[in-house]
């Protein structure tokens, strides 16, 4: 590399700054909805860089973007590397783009070193991960892997009633292009993402090797008591549903505390009936949302939650529990995780295991191929806001790890 050429870190900083310009809310964070003018601007920038880095550029029938570097085996499955490039309204410049840029820079290192490889390397930039324009989220990955059929995709509408197909055509994208990827066309999946939480920054470690994307359980708890006059009912004659519910809620943090650190529990919705200032509450309905990277912890906190809720019954208080949602944690591929740990170690980059509390496209890919993710620290743990920031030096660390891992994954067996 000659002295006038930019360093890896400087190139990453440039890509972030260039992509950040494509926002519908300048000065108020990144707002880049799928198929919007800002999507088209970022897409054009990414295509240009892909071509510059020697990749064959292609879009699919959903508007996902790919840049492929062929290997020596014709028709072999690809090692995919990238992330999404849409954003939430007034979000940050790193959620998604950091991973797309990491993919681009890995491809650039392949080109720069003239790396010969058997399997193709494919950089990707997916649409609509956030679900900010169309419902459901993870739409680019669900569509390309057939979890969402082409017909279902075509039926999705935004809040103004515009269908995906209409929005694509209006943006000059072609929904008739091939979309569905066959399972055998992908050899492995790598994604870098910002952590969106404080654990890496707090521990002073630049890279997290994601072990799992958290599982989630939601229950609804109804506590029933007896209504009465707030002035005339003595304290020892009351069956106050809110007092009983409050005791349950207050014990929940302790139930999660004993588990490992990815285990979290939240009461985000609570309704009091009849909700009058001078009436003893006769009914309280609240939700408990609990998450963990390990299924045994989801189950044990769920069991503890039910146990301490039921223990509040008696003395005119009744408790009912309704299971509402259960999603098992999604493990990342063990051999890919081992490879990422090995390469981090060989490069002298400190790393630690981490669970993802947020959903990612990797959850969908994990059912189809060997999927792995790296996290890099988010300043103050902030994300989905204009203040979102990650040190480009940490993204560069992840690029070096992914470069080594991608070289190993694209080699002939
Ligand atoms: Zn994201």
Residue 176 CA to ligand 1 center (angstroms) comes to 27
The predicted pLDDT at position 259 comes to 77
Centroid of ligand 1 to alpha carbon of 352 (angstroms) = 20
Q: Calculate how far, in angstroms, residue 266's C-alpha sits from the geometric centre of ligand 1.
A: 22
Give the torsion sign (CA, 380, 89, 192, 56).
Answer: negative
Quote the CA–CA distance of 56 and 50 in Å, as a whole number. Answer: 7
Distance 240 CA to ligand 1 centre (A): 43
315 conformational bin, left if phi > 0, alpha if psi -120 to 50, beta if neither: left
Mean pLDDT of the chain: 95
Q: How far is the CA of 91 from the centre of ligand 1 (A)?
A: 10
* Span from the CA of 194 to the centroid of ligand 1 (angstroms): 8
- Give residue 56 CA to ligand 1 midpoint distance, Å: 25
d(CA 359, CA 291): 12
The Cα 108–Cα 9 span in angstroms is 13
What is the distance, to the nearest Å, from the Cα of residue 204 to the centroid of all Cα atoms in its chain? 22
Ligand 1 geometric centre to CA of 184 (Å): 26
Q: What is the pTM of this model?
A: 0.87
Q: Would you state the pLDDT for residue 328?
A: 86
401 alpha carbon – ligand 1 mean position (Å):
20
Tell me how far the alpha carbon of residue 251 lies from the centroid of ligand 1, in angstroms: 32
Is 99 in contact with 139 (CB distance < 8 Å)? no
In order along the chain (413 residues), what is the average pLDDT of each group of 10 residues? 72 98 98 98 98 98 98 96 97 98 98 95 97 92 95 95 98 97 94 97 98 92 96 94 98 87 89 96 96 90 96 96 89 98 98 93 95 98 97 98 98 85
> What is the whole-number distance in angstroms between the Cα of residue 84 and the centre of ligand 1?
7
Residue with tokens 């390397």: 121
Coil/strand/helix, residue 130? coil
Residue 3 DSSP symbol: T
CA 181 to centroid of ligand 1, rounded, Å: 22
So what's the pLDDT on residue 3?
45
Predicted confidence (pLDDT) per residue in 331-363, tens digit: 999 999 999 999 999 999 999 999 998 889 999
- Ion ligand 1, residue ranges at CB < 5 A: 95-96
How far apart are the CA of 188 and the centre of ligand 1, in A? 19
Q: CA dihedral in degrees (347, 400, 211, 189; nearest 10)? A: -140
Ligand 1 center from residue 15 Cα (angstroms): 17
Q: Find the 284 Cα to ligand 1 centroid distance in Å.
A: 35
Please answer whether residues 29 and 92 qualify as being in contact, where contact means their C-beta atoms are separated by less than 8 angstroms. yes
Kind of pairing, strands 121-126 and 78-84?
A: parallel
H/E segment holding residue 247: helix 241-257
Q: What is the pLDDT of residue 5?
A: 67
Distance 215 CA to ligand 1 centre (A): 17
Is the dihedral angle over the CA atoms 360, 361, 366, 371 positive or is it negative?
negative
Quote the CA–CA distance of 298 and 263 in Å, as a whole number. 8
**Span from the CA of 359 to the centroid of ligand 1 (angstroms):** 8
The domains of the chain, with CATH numbers, are 8-212+329-410 (3.40.630.10), 215-327 (3.30.70.360)
Cα-to-centroid distance, 193 and ligand 1 (Å): 7
Please tell me the distance between residue 383's alpha carbon and the centre of ligand 1 in angstroms: 9
Report the separation in Å between the CA atom of 258 and the middle of ligand 1, taken as the mean of its atom positions. 29
| 209 Cα to the center of ligand 1, angstroms | 16
Q: What contacts 24+ positions apart, CB below 8 Å, involve 303-310?
A: 304/255, 305/219, 305/252, 305/255, 305/265, 306/219, 308/248, 308/251, 308/252, 308/255, 309/221, 309/223, 309/248
pLDDT digits (tens, 9 = 90+) for 64-85: 999 999 999 999 999 999 999 9
**From the CA of 299, how far away is ligand 1's center (Å)?**
27
How many angstroms does the Cα of residue 276 sit away from the middle of ligand 1? 42
Distance 99 CA to ligand 1 centre (A): 9
């Amino acid at each position: 590399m000659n002295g006038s050429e930019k360093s890896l870190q400087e190139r990453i900083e440039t890509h972030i700054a260039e992509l950040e310009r494509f926002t519908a809310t300048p000065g108020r964070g990144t707002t880049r909805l799928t198929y919007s003018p800002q999507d088209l601007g970022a897409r054009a920038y990414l295509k240009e860089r892909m071509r510059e880095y020697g990749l064959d550029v292609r879009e699919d029938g959903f508007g996902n973007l790919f840049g492929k570097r062929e290997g020596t085996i014709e028709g072999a499955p690809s090692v995919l590397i990238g992330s999404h490039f849409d954003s939430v309204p007034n979000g940050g410049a790193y959620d998604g783009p950091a991973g797309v840029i990491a993919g681009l820079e890995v491809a650039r290192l392949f080109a720069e070193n003239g790396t010969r490889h058997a399997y193709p390397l494919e950089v990707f930039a997916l649409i609509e991960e956030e679900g900010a324009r169309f419902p459901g989220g993870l739409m680019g990955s669900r569509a390309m892997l057939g979890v969402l059929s082409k017909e279902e995709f075509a039926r999705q509408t935004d809040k103004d009633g515009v269908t995906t197909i209409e929005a694509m055509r209006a943006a000059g994208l072609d929904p008739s292009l091939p979309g569905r990827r066959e399972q055998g066309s992908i050899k492995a999946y790598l994604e870098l993402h910002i952590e969106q939480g404080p654990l890496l920054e707090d521990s002073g470690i630049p890279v997290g090797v994601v072990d799992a994307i958290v599982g989630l359980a939601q229950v609804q708890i109804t506590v029933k008591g007896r209504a009465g006059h707030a002035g005339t009912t003595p304290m020892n004659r009351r069956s106050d549903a809110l007092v009983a519910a409050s005791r349950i809620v207050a014990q929940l943090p302790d139930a999660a505390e004993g588990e490992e650190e990815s285990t979290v529990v939240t009461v985000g919705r609570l309704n009091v009936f009849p909700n009058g200032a001078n009436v003893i509450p006769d009914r309280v309905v609240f939700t408990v949302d609990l998450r963990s990277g390990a299924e045994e912890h989801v189950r044990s906190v769920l069991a503890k939650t039910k146990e301490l809720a039921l223990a509040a019954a008696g003395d005119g208080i009744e408790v009912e529990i309704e299971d509402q949602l259960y999603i098992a944690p999604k493990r990342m591929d063990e051999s890919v995780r081992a490879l990422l740990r090995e390469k981090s170690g060989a490069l002298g980059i400190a790393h630690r295991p981490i669970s993802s509390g947020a959903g990612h496209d990797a959850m969908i890919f994990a059912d189809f191929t060997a999927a792995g993710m790296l996290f890099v620290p988010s300043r103050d743990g902030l994300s989905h806001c204009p203040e979102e920031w990650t040190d480009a030096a940490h993204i560069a660390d992840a690029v070096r790890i992914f470069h080594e891992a991608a070289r190993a994954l694209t080699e002939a067996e």
